[in-house]
């Protein structure tokens, strides 16, 4: 991994269909096959996990987006199990395990308030959960902008 790799990552994490030539021009490597080889290597060692279409779920009507903070019961030992159950609930797109007075951060997207109640009911069925605290997301300014890390 060198700085060329990072710059390639930056490019393709924004647009994976950008022509190799253009990427090359942007980063100063003029051989498309060299770029192609580097991408393949990064796929092989799993730095690149895959390629995805970026979807505007708001445009699809999934406008009731919520950030939920979950506290698991203490002494359960099995955060993985709780996480596993949460992850399976339809509509859940982020599940992070945090240090502090909150255990999990969950991001959900549903079409309506009532659809979110269904998720809430599913969460309430997970007996290892002690409390949840849900905030309606008013605006998504930025989401999953990995290119901003490098």
Q: Which of residues 40-79 bind a copy of itself (CB under 8 A)?
A: 45-57, 59-60, 62-67, 74-77, 79
Q: Judged by CB under 8 A, which of 6, 27, 29, 32 binds a copy of itself?
A: 6
Do residues 15 and 54 lie in contact, with contact meaning Cβ atoms separated by under 8 Å? no
CB of residue 27 vs a copy of itself: minimum separation in angstroms?
14
Report 111-140 residues binding a copy of itself (CB under 8 A): 113, 116-117, 121, 124-127, 129-140
> Minimum Å distance from CB 30 to a copy of itself?
21
**Nearest alpha carbon to residue 93 among 60, 127, 52, 57:** 57
Where on the phi/psi map is residue 50: left (φ > 0), alpha (ψ -120 to 50), or beta? left
37 near a copy of itself, judged by CB under 8 A: no
3-state DSSP assignment of residue 21? helix
């Amino acid at each position: 991994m060198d700085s060329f790799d990072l710059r390639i990552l930056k490019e393709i994490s924004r647009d994976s269909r950008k022509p190799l030539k253009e990427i090359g021009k942007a980063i100063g490597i003029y051989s498309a096959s060299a770029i192609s080889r580097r991408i393949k290597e990064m796929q092989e060692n799993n730095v690149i996990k895959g390629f995805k279409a970026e979807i505007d779920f708001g445009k699809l009507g999934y406008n009731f987006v919520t950030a939920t903070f979950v506290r698991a019961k203490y002494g359960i030992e099995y955060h993985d199990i709780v996480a596993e159950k949460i992850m399976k609930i339809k509509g859940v797109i982020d599940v992070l395990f945090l240090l502090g007075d909150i255990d999990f951060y969950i991001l959900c997207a549903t079409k309506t308030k009532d659809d979110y109640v269904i998720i809430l009911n599913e969460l309430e069925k997970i007996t290892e959960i002690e409390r949840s605290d849900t905030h309606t997301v008013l605006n998504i300014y930025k989401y999953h902008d990995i290119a901003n890390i490098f």
